[in-house]
Homo-oligomer: A and B are copies of this chain.
Amino acid sequence: MGSFGIRDLTREFGVTARTIRHYEEIGLLSPERRGQTRVYSPADFTRLKLILRGKRLGLSLEESRQIIQMYDPAAGNRPQLERLLARLREQRDALLARRRDLDAMLRELEGAEAGCLAALEQQARAARPAASTRKRSLR
């Protein structure tokens, strides 16, 4: 019941079946098989969601794989947990740096927007006095 065909995933996420199979080829998904056809679980569903979000953020599939691996830890021993913790913090810091870039770009865009609005205002002021002069300008 909680299982989907490949077509369901394409509709849900707006990607092609080829894309989904590609993710399987490189080991990002591993759905079960009913006979020959793929059957996706809610877990696969979630993984795909993570992958696509990674893409929207400009991550490579390899980078997304790294991140996803950190979520099913197979709860290791002490040194493994510490390595995992270190990598989690690395990724977090990388994302925080990304967010600083993003915010900088946002501020610039908003600055440009303000400049643009000012220019439109400027045009409006230039046009308004002309309203009382329009007929004169026709002479």
Residues of A within 8 A of B (CB): 53-54, 56-59, 67, 70-71, 73, 75, 77-78, 81-82, 84-85, 88-89, 91-92, 95-99, 101-106, 108-110, 112-113, 115-117, 119-120, 123
Residue in A56, A57, A105, A120 whose Cβ sees the most chain B Cβ within 10 Å: A105
Known: A58-B59, A92-B110, A99-B99. A53 touches B116 (CB 8 A): no
Give the copy number. Answer: 2
Give every chain B residue within 8 A of A110 (Cβ-Cβ).
92
Known: A78-B123, A105-B57, A119-B75. A113 touches B85 (CB 8 A): yes
Known: A84-B116, A120-B78. A53 touches B104 (CB 8 A): yes
Give every chain B residue within 8 A of A117 (Cβ-Cβ).
85
Could you tell me if B120 and A70 are in contact, using CB atoms closer than 8 angstroms? no
Residue in A71, A91, A106, A109 whose Cβ sees the most chain B Cβ within 10 Å: A109
Known: A58-B57, A58-B58. A102 touches B112 (CB 8 A): no
